[in-house]
Structure 1
Amino acid sequence: MTSASLLVYPSTPDVRGPISQPYFALPAVLAAAEPDPLKAALDAVWHALHTHGEHYPELLKEIWAVCSV
Structure 2
Amino acid sequence: MSKETAVSFAERGCTTVRLLNDIPFGHKFALSDLSEGETIVKYGVPIGQLIRPVKAGEHIHLHNLVTLQRRGDVQ
- When the two structures are superposed, what TM-score results if normalisation uses the length of structure 2? 0.19
By percentage of residues, which structure has more strand? 2
Q: TM-score, normalised by structure 1?
A: 0.20
**Structure number having the greater helix percentage:** 1
